[in-house]
């Protein structure tokens, strides 16, 4: 091999040519003169050298603190993707607690699929920040829980490993996209789990499986090391059978991550939730949001309202409140979720640009290869996002994304306005009890509706970032008796009050079984 060939082999990028400059100029309608094109060609020689130097430098990799083996693929339990056994510190708030980690979260050395055949075979080289914090607090990680394909379904039917069944009725959905986490916690296979939530993906399985799931305030829990969908709506949070365990897990994973996550602010308030969660709700004002009950199944609405009214016995003031713009929350979320996801998760290979924080380079490279070679392996909901967002970009640029983000600010202020008078607002988490899992008898359109048609109460709070928790309000009448989720929404960074109200709901069962 000649010296020239050796240099070419080790080059970071192919030197831009004059033909490349001419072609790109024509595509972008830049109308370069020959002299300008020649100047650009000469100037870019230095730019290419800068890229070469970046290629040669070594990027830092986070230290993996706790030993582990890769584990094994679990084919017996529909809620596990990969099993492992990683023991954390001897002492800590989570000592003795077993944990499942949603499979969109990196655990070093343990395969990560994110529910998608696109990532099958990918093995991360780092622990997500929440994983390290769990292990530092004494938690024991038993594996990666199944999640929906690229986390883009509210039903538990899209994962490449197969559907996750509801613990209360195997013909029904466990909810998504944190489907495995919800099922494992509900079935007492683990004590607590990590979920992710961009449109309701913690709260949907929490509601349908009958457990506790908290989407924390935006930025409270670092998203570092978790595959993003859209930077402005990404949330990760705790799932548990009890509010006390949910509070303990939140306490462990909350807090600033030293600039690694651009979703966070340096002064992230996070009190000792586990010590304060039982302080009661005497004197708290709770608003039952009228619009949250629109087009909700009658028995579900009745169970949620009755449970909310019992909070008067705990000393709270409970009354109805109306906020009509809540009905537009899902519409406002949609351009952000669609076009933002397309730019960040698809075209940006999970990260994209304009990101001041930590990039997961191996994950980015794996996604780039998968999207380039096998875009047809994306699930249908993601294909819809790709097609519609490309259409919008070609015809309207980012006009509607920008307007939607401005409307998010207005929506946020409107929720804040009623949250000045009320400590929390409550409503049904979802408009219906657990859907039936789709079958071959369902048309493609009917299946799509089952995957995405349940988020009108949950998605608005992904857009605004308010803390929102689902807790079981009781079981529906008739057979099968199914859990009915009650959602509690609080002020920004007042996740503590949300947890305290949820604990009061829980106590109504303890006192009056």
For 445, the token pair is 């359109």
Neighbours of 170 (CB within 10 A): 12
Helices 329-341 & 399-421, crossing angle to 10 degrees? 140
CA 174 to chain centre: 16
Do residues 149 and 162 lie in contact, with contact meaning Cβ atoms separated by under 8 Å? Answer: no
Q: Which residue has the tokens 């093995």?
A: 123
E strand residue ranges, 118-250: 140-145, 165-166, 169-173, 192-197, 212-215, 235-240
| CA distances from residue 254 to 65, 99, 132, 205 in whole angstroms, order as listed | 19, 16, 12, 21
Rounded CA-CA distance 113/74 in Å is 13
Angle of CA points 260, 179, 115, to nearest 5°: 65
Q: Which element (helix H / strand E) includes 364?
A: helix 361-373
Rounded CA-CA distance 468/333 in Å is 16
Instruction: Classify residue 327 by its DSSP letter.
Output: G
Residues 433, 288, 456, 496, CA torsion sign: negative
Q: Residues of 246-267 as b/e, b for ≥16 C-beta within 10 angstroms? A: bbbbbbbbbbbbeebbebbeee
Q: Which residues are catalytic?
A: 102, 177, 201
Largest alpha-carbon pair distance within the chain?
Answer: 84
CA 113 to chain centre: 15
Which residues make beta-bridge pairs with 140? 87, 98
Residues near 105 by beta carbon (within 8 Å), at least 6 away in sequence: 112, 128, 130, 131, 144, 194, 196, 225, 226, 227, 236
């Amino acid at each position: 091999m000649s010296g020239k060939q050796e240099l070419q082999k080790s080059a970071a990028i192919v030197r831009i040519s004059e033909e490349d400059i001419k072609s790109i100029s024509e595509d972008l309608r830049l109308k370069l003169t020959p002299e300008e094109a020649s100047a650009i060609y000469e100037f870019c020689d230095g730019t290419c050298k800068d890229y070469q130097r970046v290629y040669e430098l070594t990027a830092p990799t986070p230290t993996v603190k706790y030993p582990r083996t890769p584990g094994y693929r679990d084919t017996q339990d529909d809620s596990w993707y990969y099993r492992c056994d990683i023991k954390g510190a001897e002492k800590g708030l989570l000592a003795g607690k077993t944990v499942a980690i949603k499979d969109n979260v990196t655990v070093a050395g343990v395969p990560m699929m994110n529910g998608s055949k696109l990532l099958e075979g990918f093995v991360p080289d780092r622990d997500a920040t929440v994983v390290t914090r769990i292990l530092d607090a004494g938690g024991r990680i038993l594996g990666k829980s199944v999640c929906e394909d690229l986390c883009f379904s509210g039903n538990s039917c899209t994962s490449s490993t197969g559907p996750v069944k509801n613990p209360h009725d195997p013909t029904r959905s466990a909810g998504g996209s944190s489907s495995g986490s919800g099922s494992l916690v509900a079935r007492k296979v683990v004590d607590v789990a990590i979920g992710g939530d961009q449109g309701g993906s913690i709260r949907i399985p929490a509601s349908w499986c009958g457990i506790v799931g908290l989407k924390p305030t935006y930025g409270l829990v670092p998203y570092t090391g978790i595959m993003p969908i859209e930077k402005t709506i990404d949330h990760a949070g705790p799932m548990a059978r009890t509010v006390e365990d949910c509070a303990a897990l939140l306490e462990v994973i909350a807090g600033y991550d030293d600039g690694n996550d651009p979703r966070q602010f340096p002064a992230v308030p996070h009190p000792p939730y586990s010590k304060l969660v039982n302080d009661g709700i005497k004197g708290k004002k709770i608003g039952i949001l009228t619009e949250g009950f629109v087009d909700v199944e009658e028995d579900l609405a009745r169970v949620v309202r009755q449970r909310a009214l019992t909070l008067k016995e705990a000393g709270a003031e409970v009354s109805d409140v109306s906020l009509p713009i809540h009905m537009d929350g899902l519409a406002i979320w949609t351009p952000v979720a669609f076009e933002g996801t397309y730019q960040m998760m698809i075209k940006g290979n999970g990260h994209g640009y304009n990101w001041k924080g930590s990039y997961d380079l191996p994950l980015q490279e794996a996604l780039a290869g998968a999207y380039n070679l096998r875009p047809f392996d994306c699930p249908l909901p993601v294909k819809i996002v790709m097609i519609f967002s490309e259409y919008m970009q070609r015809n309207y640029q980012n006009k509607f994304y920008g307007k939607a983000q401005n409307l998010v600010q207005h929506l946020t202020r409107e929720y804040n306005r009623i949250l000045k008078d009320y400590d929390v607002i409550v409503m049904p988490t979802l408009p219906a009890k657990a859907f039936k899992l789709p079958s071959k008898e369902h048309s493609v359109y009917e299946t799509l509706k089952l995957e995405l048609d349940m988020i009108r109460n949950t998605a608005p709070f992904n857009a605004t970032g308010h803390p929102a928790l689902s807790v079981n309000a009781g079981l529906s009448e008739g057979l099968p008796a199914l859990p009915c989720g009650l959602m509690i929404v609080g002020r920004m960074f007042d996740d503590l009050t949300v947890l305290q109200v949820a604990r009061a709901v829980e106590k109504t069962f303890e006192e009056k079984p």
